[in-house]
Amino acid sequence: MSLPENSLHKSLLVSKYTAIKQLIYSILDTSLSIYTKNRLIICTTYKNIPLSQGRDENKIIYISGIALQISKSEKFPAMEIANGIVSHISANYDQDFKIQIVSPGWIHLEVTHPLLAAWLQNLALGTAGQINSKFKISPADTLRVSETPPKEAQNSKLKLSPSSPSLPHSLTPSSPSLPHSLTPSSSFTAQYAHARCCSLVRLAIVEGLIQQGEPNQEDSESSKQRLLSSILMPNPIPWLNCDEKLRFHHPASYRLINELVRVVDSLAFPNLGGSLNWEKAATSLSRAFETFWSKCRIFGEVKTASPELAQARIGLVLATQSVLKFLLEEKLGMIAPYEV
């Protein structure tokens, strides 16, 4: 089944930029270049674009102070600069972001539900539900990025390479040493959450919520791994209702989505804002998943009365499993168990 033009556009965006923050950086970078060129500003001092995720747990919002940064050095009104930058974004991405300029010159970009659905689809099933091969640093592409003041930030070079399954040896699960600060309780929390995700997916197959394709019998993966890598969901997953809104209503769903966005953003830009505590990130994601699972049922009455909602919730489970697997194996050097 072919995707509508609008859905295809969003699919292409998220397939190129796995992290939403990376996509927004690219858009801001292009818009800034156009604005400075039109105003005849020599853009040599703006090597870093300040951008951070907002704290609203019910939405995915990013806030940039780039207009304020330019205003200080160029002596232009920040609101005028913000309007100039936003005009290009609105003309090209009006269906992807809800944009607001907040005095004295902050640019707020809220990710729309259709784009968020495309991102979740890519995260859950973009490469057989695995993100392990996507995060690979390459000098081929430069984005001007910053979460810290310009004097402290460094240019980040990142390009996603879905075609390459290899990772540096220091990031592989076979690395002999584990982080010294790793605590058994927090690591078990993440392992248990991953195993719970896998068990829910297996149950969804048994219950007929999702379908499984024929796994490659020559694959070296275990039967449980093949189970997850051969899933054929309704394609795409029914994330959106007829009003193009996400089907989720409970705050726990959006808290989980926010955690997924934060972790994937951190994976794409690990060197911004200092060293990252991956154990803490895995624990926060695991706890958000536990709350989601306890508050948002998938089977029983929900499956019978709202099968598409149940499928969308399983989609969130798949996305969570994908990210937890990467954190456990590649960042914490631990096994991501398929059952407890």
How do the domains of the chain map onto residue ranges?
Answer: 5-111, 169-331
Averaged pLDDT for residues 23-32: 90
| Position 219 pLDDT exceeds 70 | no
Could you give the residue ranges of the DSSP H alpha helices within 208-295?
A: 223-229, 251-268, 278-295
Reading the block at residue 90, the tokens are: 């609105």
Residue of 25, 54, 19 whose CA lies nearest to 260: 19
Question: Residue 46: how many CB atoms within 10 A of its CB?
Answer: 20
Maximum C-alpha span of the chain: 65
CA triplet 139, 126, 245: central angle to 5 degrees?
Answer: 115
- 144 bridge partner residues: none
Q: What is the pLDDT of residues 227-259, one digit of tens each?
A: 666 677 688 899 999 999 999 999 999 999 999
Q: Which fold has domain 5-111?
A: Gyrase A; domain 2 (3.30.1360)
| Position 220 pLDDT exceeds 60 | no
| Position 119 pLDDT exceeds 50 | yes
What's the CA gap between 264 and 270, in Å, rounded? 10
- 281 bridge partner residues: none
For the ranges 177-191, 256-270, 323-337, the lowest mean pLDDT is seen at: 177-191
Reading the block at residue 324, the tokens are: 């937890």
What's the CA gap between 91 and 99, in Å, rounded? 11
Question: Residue 153: how many CB atoms within 10 A of its CB?
Answer: 19
DSSP 110-170: EEPHHHHHHHHHHHHHTTTT--TTT----TT-EE--BSS-TTT---EE----TT-----GG
Residues in the chain: 340
- 107 bridge partner residues: 64, 101
The pLDDT of residue 133 is 45
Residue of 228, 205, 202 whose CA lies nearest to 215: 228
H/E run at residue 191: helix 184-207
Give this prediction's pTM: 0.79
Q: Which CATH class is domain 169-331?
A: mainly alpha
The pLDDT of residue 155 is 33
The highest-confidence range among 134-138, 214-218, 315-319, by mean pLDDT, is 315-319
H/E run at residue 52: strand 51-53
Averaged pLDDT for residues 73-93: 91
Q: What is the pLDDT of residues 271-297, one digit of tens each?
A: 665 578 999 999 999 999 999 999 999
Task: Return the DSSP state at 327.
Answer: I
Q: What is the pLDDT of residues 156-165, one digit of tens each?
A: 222 222 322 2
